[in-house]
Amino acid sequence: MAHEVEMKVWVTDWDGLSEALRKRCSYEGTTRKEDRYFRRPDKDPKRHYGFRVRLDEGPPTVTYKIRSTEDGVERNVENEFHIDDAEAFIGMADRLGCTEYMSKVKYGEEYTCGEMTIGLYHLSEVGDFLEVETIVTDEGAVPAAVDAVRAFVREVGMESARVESRPYGELVRLAREGKLGS
């Protein structure tokens, strides 16, 4: 089972951070990720149960997570699989009673640094973020992964006060409602 450890931090100096990442990490290129979120019919509409369909350069990917956040670091049990036809899958989900409740687009630069995937992303309607993620298969390795992610964020000069613990979906919702303060 995959355990995702992820931290995201608000970015105020895109160019400076991009330069620092290029010096420290392997630049993988630019990306654009479009995500559509669905919830099960039997769950509270105010909560974000369900799954995501990601549409980007590769094959469409379905993801569902068991989320938890502690001190700004997400520790998720993550399940992902690729599908051939996103619209057929979405049609099936609709037929089963799932409803789409949100979509988002993020784009930017991606890097690798050891076992970590690093993203410098602009999230439409919200702002700019550094996203640091690593995946471990052994639950016992999660604490060390948390330490590594935190250390990387410090090493690239990001302030702990800029850490964002809310999910992107909540940030997009708040922005669309005009309730997201900067």
Q: Locate the domains of the chain by residue range.
A: 2-176
Q: Given this model, what pLDDT does residue 37 score?
A: 92
Confidence bin at 71 (pLDDT 50/70/90)? confident
d(CA 102, CA 43): 15
Q: How many residues does the chain have?
A: 182
d(CA 162, CA 17): 14
Name the 3-class secondary structure at 75: strand
d(CA 3, CA 65): 9
List all residues 6 or more positions away from 46 whose beta carbon is below 8 Å from its beta carbon: none
Confidence bin at 31 (pLDDT 50/70/90)? very high
Q: Given this model, what pLDDT does residue 44 score?
A: 66
Please tell me the pTM assigned to this model: 0.89
State pLDDT tens for residues 89-148: 999 999 999 999 899 999 999 999 999 999 999 999 999 999 999 999 999 999 999 999
- Determine the average pLDDT of the residues in 39-61: 81
* Phi, psi (deg, nearest 5) at residue 177: -90, 0
Decide yes or no: CATH 2.60.40.10 for domain 2-176: no
Q: Given this model, what pLDDT does residue 106 score?
A: 96
